[in-house]
Amino acid sequence: MARLLDPGSLNVRLMLERPVETPDGQGGATVGFAALATLWARIEPVAARAEEAAGAQRIAVTHRIWLRRRGDLAGGMRLRKGARLFVIHAFRDPDETGRYMLCDCEETRP
């Protein structure tokens, strides 16, 4: 059985954003994000690792973010806390009760 979550621990205010494509006038599109909802959440840091790509070092920080259940979560969405961005890689109902969603996220730089 999954551990129970105290609803009072959802103490961080986040903005849920969805990707929006805008035509660029040349047959392509640019992808931006539009606010979808403001919600309460719990952020749990999981791991940090250093990666090197193209000669530059990048720090990847992963988090588990708990939310109340939503039926409209989809791939490509992200969560925002001020200037911090969390890309949602996967989400699930951790105890299959339909009360909460657990999102596996990676913090990115804007």
**Domains present along the chain, CATH in parentheses:** 9-21+28-108 (2.40.10.270)
Contacting residues for 32 by C-beta, under 8 A, at least 6 apart: 19, 20, 22
109: nearest Cα among 37, 61, 38? 61
pTM: 0.84
Does position 104 have pLDDT exceeding 60, yes or no? Answer: yes
Overall average pLDDT of the 4-26 stretch = 89
86-95: pLDDT as tens digits: 999 999 999 8
pLDDT at 3: 59
